[in-house]
Structure 1
Amino acid sequence: MADNSTIPASPSGGPATPPRILPWLLIYTVGRLAIAAALVLVLWLVGLDFWSGLLFGLLLSMPVSYLLLRPSRERLSEGLAARSIARKAAKDDLRTRLSGGTE
């Protein structure tokens, strides 16, 4: 039987619907791509050749994205964690019902 203290509850008292992950995944992915493209463009405008600008732009985009996209990355992580908890609770509930146990 699932521990009810770990199952998120909705305002009506039932199990909460897991948050939507796709919007936060798209925001984070587009943000990463935009930061990488902007850095590559700036390095090309500064005078680096094609491959050097591309390589350094991609390498620099990692720490810049880590700092600038923190809020969306945290929301995405929270959504994934909530979805994982909800899936585990649903799986435990299904196991309980299939084994013939009562709640």
Structure 2
Amino acid sequence: MADDAQAPVTPVGPVGPTGGPAEPPPLVPWLLAYTAARLAIVAGLIALIWVLGLPGFPALLIGLLLGMPVAYLALRPMRDRLTEAIAGRSVRKQQIRAQLRGEDDAVS
């Protein structure tokens, strides 16, 4: 007969330094930092365009349009951490829902 000993369970998803599941970064601080950084980039571009001589409303529109690709390139590491935090929150919600339904094989 085969031995009924179970193999150790490995966590699903990212593994933390202790070997258990990795803790996602906190969502709110990363969301606030990312939003503030995007606003700072747009404000800086608008100010730069304004100083270069383009008046108010056109400077605002060009600054907003240029702010999107600049923020996309400059804030990639911050955006990756924010995405990780959102995904971690989603996994945690699934775990809580499974526990509330009484499922034994909740997502780990």
TM-score of the superposed pair, with normalisation by structure 1:
0.78
Deviation at 1:16, TM superposition (A): 6.2
Give the greater-gyration-radius structure (CA). 2
- Residue of structure 2 aligned with 1:58, choices 53, 59, 64: 64
Q: Which ranges in structure 1 are unaligned for 5 or more consecutive residues? A: none
> Is it true that 1:73 corresponds to 2:85 in the alignment?
no
> Is it true that 1:87 corresponds to 2:85 in the alignment?
no
d(CA) in 2 for partners of 1:66, 1:60: 10
Higher relative contact order (CA 8 A, sep 6+): 1
Conservation of the 8 A alpha-carbon contact between 2:24 and 2:84: no
Change beyond 3 A, Cα 1:34–1:65:
same
Aligned residues: 95
Deviation at 1:40, TM superposition (A): 0.2
- Supply the RMSD in Å over aligned alpha carbons: 2.3
Deviation at 1:6, TM superposition (A): 3.6
SS in 2 for 1:28: helix
d(CA) in 1 for partners of 2:44, 2:15: 42
TM-score of the superposed pair, with normalisation by structure 2:
0.75
Percent identity of equivalent pairs: 46
SS in 2 for 1:53: helix
SS in 2 for 1:30: helix
Q: Which residue is 1:22 aligned to?
A: 28
d(CA) in 2 for partners of 1:16, 1:93: 19
SS in 1 for 2:25: coil
